[in-house]
Amino acid sequence: MLAPVWIVGSMPGDQRLSLRQPRVLAALGLRSALLAALVIGCFLPFYAAEGSRCLDFLTYHRARGLEFESLYSSLLLAARPWSQPLTVGYSYGSINLGSSLSPVLIALAPWVMLSVLLGATVLLLVHCGIGFQACLARTDRIGILSHEGRLAHADPHAFASYALLFLMLYIATSKVFSPQYLLWLAPLVVVVPCGGWRRRLFFWGFLLICGLSTILVPFLLSIDLIEKSSAQPPSFWVFKEPTLRMATILELCPPYRAGAQGGGRKRTGFLKRLGFSG
């Protein structure tokens, strides 16, 4: 899911990323092919030893249902008055919800994820094409020569933030949500290039997400599902927690994006002194 960040970030940092130039498209294509070859090369020894069984994780994920903490399960719970009753089942190590809408949402989930990740990729390309200019002089304060550096060197905070954005979008659109996914975000939250109230909003929003996850699992999960004598659909309380958490994740994306594009007043001034403008 982070492949676009790696590929674009490895482009030379001494020139604007213009998709109208054939050499830029060729360079992006070459880096994409090299990354694909690297991934395939890592799997080849396992495929030679175990055969197709080393790819069973793909089948496993495709066969999974809508985990009750996911955004799609929140949609099922919200639509319960207009659809068939929900069913609760345990499979693949998670509690899943089912209804007449489940097959449709399961089929749409990968396409929704692909669409939002493609949109984030377009945003990254536009940012790198418009927000970066050639740095012709040596930038002693960051210790690199512009012609030796990469786009990721020009503004590492922005690329770290785009990595965070891609992870957040993946989590929000996946049909499975596990609390440990938040560990992916924690190292990147501290480098979000927002200032003032945006930074405080983002930090407190992330802490709210972690707090809601702790309340939901194990406390509300145990009270509402496990301790019942028979399997029943989750109550409003279990519906409210993951829904509020997902809403918080989605709400944090616009303030983050503004910070990644603007970089805050202090960082923008610093980049201008180095020869970059955004």
Instruction: Delimit the domains of the chain by residue range.
Output: 3-274
Averaged pLDDT score across all residues of the chain: 76
Longest distance between any two alpha carbons in the chain, whole Å? 71
Binned at pLDDT 50, 70 and 90, residue 269 comes out as: very low
pLDDT at 266: 42
pTM of the predicted protein model: 0.77
**CA–CA dist 28, 150 (Å, integer):** 13
Cβ–Cβ < 8 Å for 30, 2: no
Cα torsion angle, 202, 207, 212, 214, sign: positive
pLDDT at 272: 40
Helix (H) or strand (E) holding 94, with range, is: strand 94-98
pLDDT at 71: 86
Peptide bond into 218 cis (omega under 30): yes
Binned at pLDDT 50, 70 and 90, residue 131 comes out as: low
Task: Summarize pLDDT for 38-62 with one digit per residue, the tens.
Answer: 999 998 999 888 888 888 888 888 8
pLDDT at 231: 52
Average pLDDT over residues 186-203: 82
Q: Which amino acid makes up residue 76? A: L
Q: Return the closest-CA partner of residue 124 out of 170, 155, 148.
A: 155
Q: Using the structure block, give the residue that is written with the tokens 């719970």.
A: 77
Task: Summarize pLDDT for 67-100 with one digit per residue, the tens.
Answer: 888 888 888 877 777 766 788 888 887 888 888 8
Reply yes or no on whether the pLDDT at 122 is more than 80: yes
Q: List Cβ neighbours of 19 (8 Å cut-off, separation of 6 or more).
A: 25, 125, 129
Q: Taking CA 205 as the corner, what is the angle to CA 200 and CA 211, rounded to the nearest 5 degrees?
A: 130
**CA–CA dist 257, 263 (Å, integer):** 9
Q: Return the closest-CA partner of residue 165 out of 241, 265, 249, 242.
A: 249
Average pLDDT over residues 183-211: 84
